[in-house]
Amino acid sequence: MSAGGGDGADGVRVEGVRVERDKETGVAVVTLDRPERLNAIDLGTAARLAAVWRALRFDESVRAVVLTGAGDRAFCTGIDRGAEVPQPPSPYSVDDPLLSIGPKANDLWKPVITAVRGMACGGAFYLLGEAEFVVAAEDATFFDPHTTYGMVSAYETVFMAQRMPCGEVARMALMGTAERLSARRAYETGLVSEVVPSGEEVAAAVRAAEVIASHPTAAVQGTVRAVWAATEGARGRALAQAPQLVALGNLPPDRQAELFAARRPGFRTR
């Protein structure tokens, strides 16, 4: 772990995650830092993300957070396919390491804004689903590959149904890798709150975060809780069904791997 500072900002980097804090503005930027893996999340990165959110709960100098991904190819592509996740021998229980990667899952109620460039797909929706709003670059695309590879999109669709019309969520999940949502279409459906030129997404998110961080902290965090209270009940009931749906509907891992290996290039962007 290394740290550096200057001009009122300091930063900390652990493998897979980078955190930069600006004590003058009260904004922290959390960066998924695995660009060579399209910022896919392995088990170590999942644990580090959870630790970052828990640490930010206690950091009074941080009043708002921006979450982004390193590089220009992807914000996040979900779980790293090289990760091995042992599963209990029961259809009523599924261990999902991505359930603990979001700020709300770690009881962080400071506002989080995501800045998306490139691909955001699959397990990335765990993070998008726990942010207050999303700023996207013009080249951002959103898609859910689960059904293409014989997997149930359960948690992802629940998170997205809190943000988008159900018909749009269903289309994205059921079309799999054959279709991607453009940043403009994501804006039209409510998933994205602002579209900016590529390369300017982090700066735009930081500008918004700085405004929010300048407001009284208790009022901001109370408002965050109020917004989430409006949907927590429905989301909790829906997520309770996810483990059984995944256990019953997923193909065996070896069959999933076969479908992944046989994937064909090409998709439609709308």
Entry pTM: 0.91
Q: What is the pLDDT of residues 186-200, one digit of tens each?
A: 999 999 999 999 999
Q: Which pLDDT score is estimated for 6? A: 36
Cβ-contact 16, 24 below 8 angstroms: no
The alpha-helical segments, DSSP class H, found in 68-216 are 124-128, 155-161, 166-175, 183-189, 201-213
Task: Please give the Cα distance from 193 to 265 (Å, whole number).
Answer: 30
Enumerate the domain spans of the chain: 2-81+95-198+216-263
Provide the pLDDT confidence category of residue 88 given band limits of 50, 70 and 90. confident
Does the pLDDT of residue 119 top 70, yes or no? yes
Mean pLDDT calculated for residue range 107-115: 97
| Residue where the block lists tokens 């999109």 | 153
DSSP string, 22-36: ETTTTEEEEEE--GG
Ranges assigned E (strand) in 70-202: 74-76, 112-116, 119-121, 133-137, 141-143, 179-182, 194-196
Mean pLDDT lowest for which of 16-20, 121-125, 252-256?
Answer: 252-256
Mean pLDDT calculated for residue range 195-212: 98
In terms of pLDDT, which residue wins out, 252 or 74? 74
In terms of pLDDT, which residue wins out, 95 or 231? 231
Does the pLDDT of residue 209 top 90, yes or no? yes
Q: What is the pLDDT of residues 29-70, one digit of tens each?
A: 999 999 999 999 999 999 999 999 999 999 999 999 999 999
Task: Please give the Cα distance from 87 to 54 (Å, whole number).
Answer: 26
Does the pLDDT of residue 233 top 50, yes or no? yes
Q: Which pLDDT score is estimated for 84? A: 76
Q: Which pLDDT score is estimated for 5? A: 35
Q: CB within 8 A of 55, min separation 6: which ones?
A: none
Task: Please give the Cα distance from 162 to 5 (Å, whole number).
Answer: 38
149-158: b (≥16 Cβ within 10 Å) or e: bbbbbbbbbb
Give the containing element (helix H, strand E) for 51: helix 43-57
Does the pLDDT of residue 83 top 80, yes or no? no
Of 181, 48, 193, 186, the closest CA to residue 112 belongs to 193
Chain mean pLDDT for the chain: 92
> Which residue type, as a one-letter code, is found at position 142?
F
Task: Please give the Cα distance from 194 to 231 (Å, whole number).
Answer: 22
The CATH number assigned to the domain with range 2-81+95-198+216-263 reads 3.90.226.10
**DSSP 8-state symbol, 148:** G
Mean pLDDT calculated for residue range 206-230: 97
> Which residue type, as a one-letter code, is found at position 179?
E
Q: Which pLDDT score is estimated for 181? A: 98
For residue 262, give the 3-state DSSP assignment: coil
Does the pLDDT of residue 225 top 80, yes or no? yes
For residue 68, give the 3-state DSSP assignment: strand
